[in-house]
Amino acid sequence: MEGLSRPTSPSPRGEQIRAWIQWFGLGRLVISALAMVVVCAGAFWLVRTPPPPTEASLPRAVASSVPGASATVPQAAPGGVEAAERLTVHVAGAVKAPGVYELEQNSRVQHAIEAAGGVVDGADPDALNLAAMVVDGGRVYVPIAGEIVPVVSGQSGSSEEQIPTIVDVNRASALELEALPGVGPATAAAIISERDSGGPFVSVDDLQRVPGIGPAKLDLLRDLVTT
């Protein structure tokens, strides 16, 4: 009859697809598709960029470059004065490079002498208290052996600062002996060793029994010791 369309015959490509599905099986096709989805999802999970850890959003403290130091930023001292203030001292006498030097806080007379290059030959650094603190604006004078140096105001390490009125060399300790001019640790130990082995000193002149004490050093001690 006219006006009615004839049924359309399936295309050859559609027939091939239908035949392949019938041959492969619908169940295996569904399983293969699901397996492909799982593989793609796993690959995406492996290659994705992980989110940053929670710690990354926390504020960070600036670490100090000094081992064991606190990370807190140090506050300036009142008035803008640095904590590590330096001292200025005049080093004179029997040293290699006399002059004015800047030293760290809590420096000793020994440090001041080292800053001036050390002592020269014939110097008598034991006439000073090498462990005395250096004062800002002070003076360290190293005498020649046998030289009697008057006490100067502001002089650091002057042995007269700690000398007792009279020291009994037969009873004094090593520290008491070291306070005497020209008596350092070695000479104090020699005095104690001599009085222990040779007996008490009978007079001040008897100190010449001690190695290292000659006429010049004895003159320094004569009015400061007794037996």
Question: pLDDT at position 83, please?
Answer: 41
**C-alpha span between 161 and 181 (Å, rounded):** 11
- For the ranges 13-17, 62-66, 134-138, the one whose mean pLDDT is highest: 134-138
pTM of the predicted protein model? 0.36
129 has pLDDT over 60: yes
pLDDT tens digits for range 144-164: 887 766 554 445 555 444 444
Locate the domains of the chain by residue range: 85-158, 163-227
- Cα separation values, 56 from 50, 51, 52, 59, 60, Å: 13, 10, 7, 8, 9
pLDDT confidence band for 227 (50 / 70 / 90) = confident
Straight-line distance from the first to the last Cα atom of the chain, in angstroms, rounded to the nearest whole number = 158
Give per-residue pLDDT as tens, 73-113.
444 444 444 445 788 898 988 899 988 999 998 889 999 99
Distance of CA 11 to the CA centre of its chain: 91
Topology of domain 163-227, CATH: DNA polymerase; domain 1 (1.10.150)
Q: What is the average per-residue pLDDT within 128-152?
A: 79
Q: Please, are residues 137 and 165 in contact by the beta-carbon 8 Å criterion?
A: no
Write the CB contacts of 141 (distance below 8 Å, at least 6 apart in sequence).
92, 93, 149, 152, 155
Decide which of 33 and 103 is more confident.
103
Check whether 34 has a pLDDT greater than 60.
yes
Residue with tokens 């492909």: 36
Kindly state the DSSP code that residue 46 receives in the 8-state scheme: H
Q: What is the pLDDT of residues 35-79, one digit of tens each?
A: 777 777 777 767 666 666 555 555 554 444 444 444 444 444 444
Q: Is 216 exposed, middle or buried (0-12, 13-18, 19+ CB in 10 A)?
A: middle
Widest distance between CA atoms in the chain: 162
- Which residues are bridge partners to 133 per DSSP? 108
Judged by phi (left if over 0) then psi (alpha if -120 to 50, else beta), residue 107 lies in beta
Taking CA atoms, 81 is separated from 77, 85, 180, in Å, by 5, 7, 38
Nearest to 118 by CA among 133, 140, 137: 140
List, for residues 176-220, the tens digit of each pLDDT value: 888 787 788 888 899 999 998 888 999 888 898 898 888 888 888
